[in-house]
Amino acid sequence: MNIQTIGVIGAGQMGNGIAHVMSLAGYDVVMSDISQDALNKAMDTIRKNMSRQVSRGKLPEEEMNGALSRIRTTLEMADIGASDLVIEAATERETVKQAIFEDLQPHLKPDTILTSNTSSISITRLASRTDRPEKFMGFHFMNPVPVMKLVELIRGIATDEPTYKACLEVVERIGKTASSAEDFPAFIVNRVLVPMINEAVYVLYEGVGNVRSIDEAMKLGANHPMGPLELADFIGLDTCLAIMNVLHDGLADTKYRPCPLLTKYVEAGWLGRKTKRGFYDYRGEEPVPTR
């Protein structure tokens, strides 16, 4: 299948990053959200990030202008339906994703491929709620999308080979590397990464170390570019908790039990960088540990 038009549902951090890289690769992009303010903010972010690439000599200005001209925004789900490939990048809640695909279904072309940027939810289960489970798969980008080189491609039990190959061609065209994963909770990256973050929260919860000592230990002792608690704040503590719950529910193993302290932070609304407080307080000039 020749893919040229890509619909992106959700204009948040992941959605605008996906629109950014797709437009630079020459695809026509239609990005939707439920809020015009969110769409305006997304376009501002894309312009700022592309301008930074231009200033660093990584992107010619005329390519930036061409890419921006290929992005269209909409509040109407019907405008997404005409796309060759749809990438859903909404909130990491299964009920939200299911509702999106149900609303989208009447507007789809017969051969449109549906994908989800979910970081943990069952692709097979999401696909089963659509009219085309064979043309449905996981298309999981890493954050921040313009920088990170990996995309996880996750096949549901019904995903056919032409769908996988079409998505693989898209990954290659945008200059990223695909990692193929089977449809089990949290796939590859988050199956390994988020339990490590959860364990770091347990180390904090049990008083083995404080926020700064845990992060410094992993940066200097394991050569990680970011400490696990700093990384949790970057990802979003609500997202980390959601992934741990998917792992715990889906694999029924107590080693995936979310740390009570992680739950407490989420209940407090301290979700990390996006709310200015998490394991660090970001309201001042420098991040300050909250424990």
Catalytic residues: 119, 140, 152, 190
Among all chains, which residue has been given the structure tokens 């959700």?
10
195-196-202-208 Cα dihedral, nearest 10 degrees: 170
Alpha carbon distance 178, 141 (integer Å): 10
Alpha carbon distance 141, 148 (integer Å): 8
Alpha carbon distance 36, 28 (integer Å): 20
Burial class (CB in 10 A: 0-12, 13-18, 19+), 221: exposed
**Sequence-ordered list of residues with C-beta below 8 angstroms from that of 219, at least 6 positions apart, any chain:** 225, 226, 227
